[in-house]
Structure 1
Amino acid sequence: MKKILLFFITIISLFCSCKKNNVEFIFDKQPEERVAEKLDSLQTALLSSPYGWKAALNTKASGGYGFYVDFRPDQTLSMLSDFSTSSSTVLKESTYRVTWTMNAVLMFDTYNYITMLQDPTPSVNGGTPGNGLQSDIEFELLKITADTLTLQGKRYGNVLRLVKLKQSEQKDYLDGKYKNSIDAIAAYFKSHTNNYFKVDDIESKIEFTPTTGKSAIFQYINSEKGVSNVSGKFNYDLAGLNFNDPVAIGNKSFVKAILDGNDLYLVTTDGQRIKLLQDTQPILPLESVYGYNRTYKILGTPNDVNTLPEVLINTSFPDLIKNTVTKFGTVKFRHFEFKFESSKQLSINIYYYSTANFTATMYFDYTLVDGVLTLSNPTNNTTGNWNTRRSVLRELEDYLINNSPYKTDWVPNRVGTPIVGWYSIVNSNNVIYGNLK
């Protein structure tokens, strides 16, 4: 009995002698110490670039966006962005926080060019109500290297990548050269059309097309005689375009496009430069990329753009669109899209704003045979919003049906993006056209 009692006394003594600071931790430190160290490492990293950072962030609902960011010890920052013309030259001051939510997190907690991307009001960024461009404002730490800081958005998982700047680069950002770079790229694609490049393991030319949504489309005829399509979101930096997520084409992976004099070079992950070339004709035949179950299903204007791109043909269609915009009056005509909904039905969509965003839609039956598009059966194929606005849409409605059938073909232009036309077989002066989507 005495031995049993002595055993229990010994066990209790050992248990009571274990203090908190004597517990052996898996990581050799108490949790609060490890949290403090990780928070400190993120804060220290943010302040480790004396000349600020260039940053890249893709969004879920749109393309990529670029930034100049300079973090300060008092948790304030200054920022530029390629979001708009003004944001590339006007510094935005705001604040940030480094906090902990299961990981070290960088939070942009006052309004700036990054938080603008997730603004829930469509008129701010062209996004959707409540979601904006599906971007992030809280980013958890993934990796710190000598010159790069990588974080990931907590809500949408978008990667925010920051790269340290040199003193000369910071000066260029602050002296307005960011806007100059953006303008130079725009000028290049305005004067260089039908752009393509070649790689060793793909036989055909690879078409390269930047879109108004800040994505680049790579297309080529593959070995099965079909069309392969790859897209990559880009942002602008001082040298040209940056692909925050590398774009793989064949055995190459592209991370940027650099403007060098009058030439643009795609740059691979291993530093190889491949020059962008131009052809006198579109790289791919229209029927291979446009139509139902093709790369492009939509002809129209970009979101919230109600004017047509500049083209090198004469047609009455721009006057028709201009008249329709005018007829809407105080109700804002936002943009239009003509979309192949199925193999037999095509929709005409007019987007407008009165008390909120609305869409007026009319449907046509169609056939598309050997590039000839024939519209039919418009009667009663309308939505309530189309009927509400029918008095101002009647001219467009009549124009569509009276000029059918159409020959579909590329439209020569000066903007460097794919523009498709419906060339009326009935009246050669009437050509419906727009950007491909």
Structure 2
Amino acid sequence: MKNKYLSYLLLVFIAGLWSCSEDNDVFEQTADQRINETVATYQQELVAAQYGWKAIIYPAGGGVYSFYFKFNDQNRVVMYSDFASESAVTSKESSYRLKAMQTPSLIFDTYSYLHVLADPDGSVNGGSNGDGLRSDYEFSFNNDSLNTENITLTGTKNQSKLILIKATQEEAAAYGNGGLAKSLLFSNISKYLTYFKRVTIGGVVYEIAVNQSARTVTLNWLVGTTVNSFTTDYYYSSTGVSFITPFVNGSQTITGFTDLTWDESRLSLGMTAAGNKVTVVEAAKPLKVDIAAARRWWTFAAEKGSYWVSLTGFTSEGKEDFFGVTSIPNFYYLLFFPAIASSSGTTYDAFAAYDGNDLMGPAVVPSFKTDGRVTFSVLGQYGTNELMNTKVQAQVEEVNGYYLIQTSEITYDMVSAKDGRTWITWLYPWE
């Protein structure tokens, strides 16, 4: 027992010597000293990038946006942003600081282009009131983020992702010379008067659809009689449109679009893709009609005893809400309510505006065609709203009918089969 006690004391003594030895001290600095040293390393890295940083941010609210940052050692940063045409050509200087919080953090502490995405006023950025696009302007450095080219950060409030990539001399010059604004010419694709648009790249015809709010590009193409589809997020760079995920089709790889041109008089967008100079052209119908889509759309809501809604009505001739339905007093939305009621043995649907109390618009009966179109005949009217019972009704019963394009599990676009120049987006908001 005595020997065991002496052995225990010897171990304690050795451990004490170990802990007091400067040569064997595991941490020669305090935790605060270590994190401050890391912060200083990040500061040096940000400033040392001679040509600044390209930046890609993924707000928690969706979408992808690009920036250019040039940091200096006086805690000032100059930036450009692809959010709008003005921010693409006009540099903005603001302050930043690095701070040792729970983790090393980068804080943009005066209002800047970065704050526009996070602004809680939805009218500023198109997001929801109270949240904006759920982006951030305070970020923590990821533990493994520092390397020779990239720095990865995470927003402290909304966990949006920010990636900094060292810019080249050519890229920095392009940002300063308005290259980002030239890339924004791609947004003019929304000015085409037809819903359907096509582009031929390397001999392959692609149907191209762009969601500028979500910042996504979709390419559809035929392999035999089968429609293949590819969708990727995109952002604007100093040289064009960059795909987050490159598109590969056989030997063809498309990483984005460059050399963008726009002819306003012809409403014609030109660009280069995979080394091919191409032009986006209009189309009156889908590359291949989904012949089951119209009935699938109708059945989806009918089986639930519910309805589809549209917040903006018909888009036509390039103008959203072409008929002005949102000007109806106390307008909530347009709705399409399948199988809402029956009369004299005929089941009919409501294609009507709703003001919180009443329906206004035509009662219709659908006819599903074997080629995938749906047409509507008018059985009667709800209410006495002149706009809904004249102009909108005339559009609804257009003799050529409509194609239904499913864009997600709960959204469809209903496109005029006459010429593809009029359409309405239906959302099922009850899921």
TM-score, scaled relative to structure 1: 0.66
CA distance in 1, matches of 2:43, 2:292: 48
* Alignment-derived partner of residue 126 in structure 2: 126
- The list of structure 1 runs, each at least 4 consecutive aligned residues, that deviate by more than 6 angstroms after superposition, is 27-30, 297-301, 336-347, 358-365, 375-380
Alpha-carbon deviation of 1:177? 4.2
Alpha-carbon deviation of 1:194? 2.8
Q: Deviations over 1:360-410 (max 9, x none)?
A: 987967635121332668877xxxxxxxxx88x652255444554333358
* Alignment-derived partner of residue 176 in structure 2: 174
Alpha-carbon deviation of 1:61? 3.3
* Alignment-derived partner of residue 408 in structure 1: 401
Partner amino acid for 1:408?
G
* Contact 1:300–1:435 (8 Å) recurs in 2: no
Partner amino acid for 2:256?
K
- Asked whether 1:18 is paired with 2:10, we answer no
* Contact 2:193–2:317 (8 Å) recurs in 1: no
CA distance in 1, matches of 2:338, 2:246: 29
Alpha-carbon deviation of 1:337? 6.6
- Asked whether 1:194 is paired with 2:197, we answer yes
CA-atom RMSD in angstroms: 4.9
* Alignment-derived partner of residue 246 in structure 1: 245
- Indicate which of 429, 433, 437 corresponds to 2:422: 433
* Alignment-derived partner of residue 385 in structure 1: none
* Paired residue total: 382
Q: Deviations over 1:318-351 (max 9, x none)?
A: 4x32xx56665xx8x89x776799999777678x
* Alignment-derived partner of residue 231 in structure 1: 231
Partner amino acid for 1:396?
M
Alpha-carbon deviation of 1:78? 1.9
CA distance in 2, matches of 1:150, 1:235: 17
- Asked whether 1:105 is paired with 2:105, we answer yes
CA distance in 1, matches of 2:365, 2:30: 70
* Alignment-derived partner of residue 413 in structure 1: none
- Indicate which of 265, 271, 292 corresponds to 2:272: 265
Alpha-carbon deviation of 1:127? 0.8
* Alignment-derived partner of residue 284 in structure 1: 287
* Contact 1:286–1:409 (8 Å) recurs in 2: no
Alpha-carbon deviation of 1:283? 5.3
CA distance in 1, matches of 2:390, 2:46: 60
* Alignment-derived partner of residue 82 in structure 2: 82
Alpha-carbon deviation of 1:84? 1.6
SS of equivalent to 2:113: coil
* TM-aligned CA distance change 1:199 to 1:73, over 3 Å: same
* Alignment-derived partner of residue 207 in structure 1: 207
* Alignment-derived partner of residue 143 in structure 1: 145
CA distance in 2, matches of 1:361, 1:176: 50
CA distance in 2, matches of 1:174, 1:398: 52
* Alignment-derived partner of residue 420 in structure 1: 415
Gaps of 5+ in 1: 268-272, 353-357, 381-389, 411-417, 425-430
* Contact 1:420–1:434 (8 Å) recurs in 2: yes
Partner amino acid for 1:180?
K
Task: Give the fraction of aligned pairs with identical amino acids, expressed as a percent.
Answer: 19
- Indicate which of 162, 165, 174 corresponds to 1:163: 165
Q: Deviations over 1:254-273 (max 9, x none)?
A: 43221267852335xxxxx4
* Contact 2:198–2:282 (8 Å) recurs in 1: no
* Contact 2:120–2:131 (8 Å) recurs in 1: yes
* TM-aligned CA distance change 1:403 to 1:40, over 3 Å: closer
* Alignment-derived partner of residue 220 in structure 1: 221
CA distance in 2, matches of 1:422, 1:68: 43
CA distance in 2, matches of 1:196, 1:45: 42
* Contact 2:368–2:375 (8 Å) recurs in 1: yes
Alpha-carbon deviation of 1:143? 3.2
CA distance in 1, matches of 2:423, 2:8: 88
* Contact 2:240–2:258 (8 Å) recurs in 1: yes
- Asked whether 1:372 is paired with 2:374, we answer yes
SS of equivalent to 2:49: coil
SS of equivalent to 1:128: coil
Alpha-carbon deviation of 1:289? 9.8
Partner amino acid for 2:47?
L
* Contact 1:246–1:253 (8 Å) recurs in 2: no
CA distance in 1, matches of 2:93, 2:255: 30
* Contact 2:151–2:165 (8 Å) recurs in 1: yes
CA distance in 2, matches of 1:373, 1:91: 52
* Alignment-derived partner of residue 56 in structure 2: 56
User: In proportion to residue count, which structure has more strand?
Assistant: 2
Q: Deviations over 1:73-131 (max 9, x none)?
A: 23221222121222223333322233355644333333221222122221111111332
Q: Deviations over 1:125-151 (max 9, x none)?
A: 111133221323343335344343333
